[in-house]
Amino acid sequence: MDAATIAFLADLEPTVEALLERHLESAKEWFPHEVVPWSRGRDFEEDEQWDAREVPMDDSLRSALFVNLLTEDNLPYYFATIDGTFGPDGAWGTWARRWTAEEGRHSIAIRDYLTVTRALDPRDLERARMAQVSTGQVPDPDAPRDAIAYVALQELATRISHRNTGRLLDDPAGFEVMKRVAGDENRHYLFYRDLVQQALEVDPNGMVCAIARQVLDFAMPGTGIIDFTAHARRIADAGIYDFVVHHDQILVPVVLTQWRLAEIEGLNGEAEQARAAALHHIERIGKAARRLEARRERRAARSEPVGANA
């Protein structure tokens, strides 16, 4: 780590301390065992085959639950990335460990819910977990500036994905599990969102370049998950996470409105070029989102029963 990066992290440490204190004050204690519907469970007999007909569910929703849980399962590697990027000492290290403790709760709650309800094949899920965690693949931003920009966007995207998945579940218990997980993710997002805000004050040129890189290259966590592309396509088709969500609920409210990317003054040439590229990309994503919305409206109109608006 070069001297400039060390100084950058040192300048941000008081903000990390303040945001950590705010996070601890606002964190809500909850217990996975209290939200999982245990009374609905029964033993799996030896060599019993999972039957999807027991829990009718659209494939897109099964994909969302599958990806959401396996993303949480990869926690050891996310911790390793954060710990290696920011270091184990001081407020940075305290935050990383607290974040890890809260994230670990998510995989416990979601897996228990899926096992009890038999919503997914537990053998397929365990094999996929073993395959993913054995590879240790996670997004790995190159430097601390990129890392905090990426994680701010990623935590919000994860919160939205969990919450939208819960809304589509025809099950109050499943909705409650996903709501609790999404609540944690939202507080994680607020921590990083406001950390980026302060980082823009500390190093506007470096942070604008980092934000631009993450806007241009952003991808939801999923590296290493079996058949991730197919699952991501189903998730997008269901509207759980797609271009519309990414543009309207992440890029516009965070990058444009919260961080005010278009309004930052006094940038050097490199940062100006990076900003222009990011703004152009956001505009393109917005156009793609509007086309997607129009296609959905046309499909809905074609499938609407005769006399529905009478």
pLDDT tens per residue across span 130-166: 999 998 888 878 899 999 999 999 999 999 999 999 9
Q: Which domains does the chain have, with CATH numbers?
A: 11-40+52-300 (1.10.620.20)
pTM: 0.93
Predicted confidence at residue 309, as pLDDT, reads 40
pLDDT band at residue 307, thresholds of 50, 70 and 90?
very low
Q: How confident is the model at residue 308 (pLDDT cuts 50, 70, 90)?
A: very low
Q: What is the mean pLDDT of residues 238-257?
A: 95
Q: What is the 3-state secondary structure (H, E, C) of the chain?
A: CCHHHHHHHHHHHHHHHHHHHHHHHHCCCCCHHHHCCHHHCCCCCCCCCCCHHHCCCCHHHHHHHHHHHHHHHCHHHHHHHHHHHHCCCHHHHHHHHHHHHHHHHHHHHHHHHHHHHCCCCHHHHHHHHHHHHHHCCCCCCCCHHHHHHHHHHHHHHHHHHHHHHHHHCCCHHHHHHHHHHHHHHHHHHHHHHHHHHHHHHHCHHHHHHHHHHHHHHCCCCCCCCCCHHHHHHHHHHCCCCCHHHHHHHHHHHHHHHHCCHHHCCCCCHHHHHHHHHHHHHHHHHHHHHHHHHHHHHHHHHHHCCCCCCC
Total length of the chain: 310
**Contact, 80 vs 139, CB < 8 A?**
no
Summarize the confidence of residues 224-236 as an average pLDDT: 90
For 16, the token pair is 């990390």
Segment 65-95, tens digit of pLDDT? 999 999 999 999 999 999 989 999 999 999 9
Task: Output 137-140 pairs: Cβ under 8 A, ≥24 positions apart.
Answer: 137/74, 137/77, 137/223, 137/224, 138/74, 138/77, 138/78, 138/81, 138/221, 138/223, 138/224, 139/81, 139/219, 139/221, 139/223, 140/81
pLDDT on residue 194: 98
Residue 38: alpha-carbon gap to chain centroid: 27
Least confident of 109-113, 125-129, 141-145: 141-145
Q: Is the predicted pLDDT of residue 305 greater than 70, yes or no?
A: no
The pLDDT assigned to 304 comes to 57
User: Letter for the amino acid at 32?
Assistant: P
What are the two backbone dihedrals, phi and then psi, of residue 270, each rounded to the nearest 5 degrees?
A: -65, -45
Residue 41: phi and psi, rounded to 5, are -90, 160
Tell me phi and psi for residue 260, to 5 degrees.
50, 50
Mean pLDDT, the chain, integer: 93
How many other CB atoms are there within 10 angstroms of residue 70's CB atom? 24
